[in-house]
């Protein structure tokens, strides 16, 4: 089955990004396809490459980057939601005059159309985090 995933909550405060990750991994290992993971609302913070948890804790952001690299998953951050919350790639940071960019490896910024398209293309769209 072809799944699309939407994640609406930030890591660490909420468990939903962890649950979404576990689901994604289980689905991939069972031979399903993950069409796209779309991060919206505070879920865009899953793409902050500056995330630096204590060493004995899971790194939610790095885990997504590794998943993208290993399985070629399309990780898309809503650009409008990301701008509100300070997540930017190098181009966006330069355009807005910020000193640094922080979009983590394996993620890309794009519009809400990517979420709608995922809903159209996938067999099931699952939403994690209210």
Partner 1 sequence: MPPQKKKFLFVNRKAPYGTIHAHEALEAILTGAAFEQRISILFLDDGVFPLLKEQNSGDIGLKDFSPTYNALSLYGVENIYVDEESLIERGIASDELSIKVELKTTKEVCLIMEQQDVIFNF
Residues serving a catalytic function are 78
Residues 27-86 that bind partner 1 (CB under 8 A): 40-41, 80-81, 84
Q: Answer yes or no whether residue 115 interacts with partner 1 by CB under 8 A.
A: yes
Q: Answer yes or no whether residue 15 interacts with partner 1 by CB under 8 A.
A: no
Size of site (CB under 8 A) for partner 1:
19
Q: Answer yes or no whether residue 16 interacts with partner 1 by CB under 8 A.
A: no
Q: Answer yes or no whether residue 112 interacts with partner 1 by CB under 8 A.
A: yes
The count of C-alpha atoms lying within 13 angstroms of the C-alpha of 71, restricted to the half-sphere facing its C-beta, is 23
Residue tagged 């159309």 (tokens):
113
Which residues form the interface with partner 1 (CB under 8 A)? 6, 8, 40-41, 80-81, 84, 111-113, 115-117, 119-121, 125, 127, 130
């Amino acid at each position: 089955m072809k799944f699309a995933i939407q994640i609406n909550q930030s890591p660490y405060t909420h468990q939903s990004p962890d649950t979404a990750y576990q689901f994604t991994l289980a689905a991939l290992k069972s031979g399903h396809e993950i069409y796209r993971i779309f991060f919206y609302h505070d879920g865009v913070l899953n793409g902050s490459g500056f995330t630096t948890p204590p060493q004995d804790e899971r790194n939610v952001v790095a885990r997504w980057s590794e998943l993208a690299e290993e399985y070629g998953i399309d990780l898309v951050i809503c650009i409008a939601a990301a701008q509100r919350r300070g997540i930017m790639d190098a181009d966006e940071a330069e355009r807005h005059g910020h000193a640094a960019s922080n979009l983590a490896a394996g993620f890309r910024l794009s519009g809400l159309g990517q979420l709608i398209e995922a809903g159209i293309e996938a067999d099931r769209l699952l939403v994690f985090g209210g």
